[in-house]
Structure 1
Amino acid sequence: MRVSAKVRRQIKHRKRNAAGAKLNLVSLMDIFTILVFFLMVNQSEVRVLQNNKELTLPASVAESLPKENITITVQANKILVHERLVWQGRDKQAALTELDKIKQSIEQELKFHLDKKLQNGSIKAPESGWPVTILGDATTEYALLKEVMAICAEVGYRDLSLAVEQKSKPVQAS
């Protein structure tokens, strides 16, 4: 039996479509690749130093991003060095009366971290001193912050940074 051209075309069309629909993943992969690169590039723009609800940092218009280094958290009734509690007291005034105890515990913890860095032997001390970031609560006495900064300088952590919350700059009307 002879088959007409129309029937042959219909049979060919049915065979081609019988395999089912094919999903083209190339464009989907392109989109996800672009998304991954976008997220990798932009993830470094935000740095979170602390996740403590009790700590309120002072506000500032500073634009420089914090570096990854040792952090000292100074609150009214406790002091933490790199998330480790080194002193805890009753209130603000207790910190000012127990400065010797605070100094000893902060020095001990900073020296411990410094010894860990120097165990390699390949790392040399920077000329400006080792970096440290101080997260001082907005209600912390300045005298206590000043004392903590002096302790850091004595141990060799002279590259001091004070952490602040970034506030937006005032918009000037033109």
Structure 2
Amino acid sequence: MRHESRRMKRMARSHKRKKTSGMNLTSLMDVFTILVFFLLTNTSSNEALEPPKVITLPDSVVETKPRETVTLMVTADEILVESNSVVATSAVLESEEIVIEAIKQAMVAELGKAIGVAQALPQDGGNENEGEQGPEPPEVNILADRGIPFSLLKKVMSSCTEAGYTKVSLAVIQKASQG
């Protein structure tokens, strides 16, 4: 029996030394830190258009946010397509033509980007006959100062539709809906 008691004592001592030390939280905290950093950097992605300081957008209670498309800005001094100056605003206002050729040519040059963005968008509706449904039409977002006369916007929108853009959106500042 003496032999068994030594063995039992050794096992008891060995068992006491192997206490579970608890869970190591360092690795878990590293993973959560990376996850929080990832979420913070990706939530500020390009959800809405940021207008430049020279443009004051009108207010609206629109519910949907604009998609990333070709951007046309109308300032008090000039008209820009994708941040490239195209024509002076005063020249467009003085022109008698409804379609401004300089804007039309700049929009035609950006048509490849607009079609690429439209094709990247998920198709809504879920039709089984997707082959019959054509690609999304090209779209343009117009950022115009609220003080711009409508006659100028009409010429800009006409030039965009002549260039092949069938969806024209005017950017606004979203405010709380009243209801």
TM-score range, shorter chain: 0.5 to 0.7
Letter in structure 1 aligned against 2:74: V
Distance 1:29 1:99, change over 3 A: farther
Once the two structures are superposed, the pairs formed by residues 42-61 of structure 1 within 5 Å of their partners are 42-44=43-45, 46-50=47-51, 52-61=52-61
Aligned mate of 1:156, from 164, 171, 176: 164
Q: How many residues align?
A: 141
Distance 1:85 1:47, change over 3 A: same
Q: Deviations over 1:56-92 (max 9, x none)?
A: 0001111211111111111222111111101125x5x
Letter in structure 2 aligned against 1:86: V
**Equivalence for 1:114:** 111
Letter in structure 2 aligned against 1:33: I
Q: Deviations over 1:106-144 (max 9, x none)?
A: 01111112256779xx99xx6663110011110000111
Distance 2:28 2:136 in 1: 51
Query: Alignment RMSD, CA only?
Result: 3.1
**Equivalence for 1:30:** 31
Distance 1:116 1:162, change over 3 A: closer
Asked if residue 80 in structure 1 is aligned to residue 88 in structure 2, the reply is no
Instruction: Tell me the CA shift for residue 37 of structure 1.
Output: 4.6
Please list every run of 5 or more consecutive structure 1 residues that lacks an aligned counterpart in the other structure: 1-22
Asked if residue 103 in structure 1 is aligned to residue 111 in structure 2, the reply is no
Contact 2:114 2:138 (C-alpha < 8 Å) held by counterparts: no
Give the TM-score, by structure 1 length. 0.67
Aligned mate of 1:167, from 149, 152, 175: 175
* Local SS of the residue matching 1:95: helix
Contact 1:71 1:81 (C-alpha < 8 Å) held by counterparts: yes
Asked if residue 65 in structure 1 is aligned to residue 62 in structure 2, the reply is no
Give the TM-score, by structure 2 length. 0.65
Identical columns (%): 31
Please list every run of 5 or more consecutive structure 2 residues that lacks an aligned counterpart in the other structure: 1-23, 121-133
* Local SS of the residue matching 2:76: coil
**Equivalence for 1:138:** 146
Distance 1:99 1:28 in 2: 66
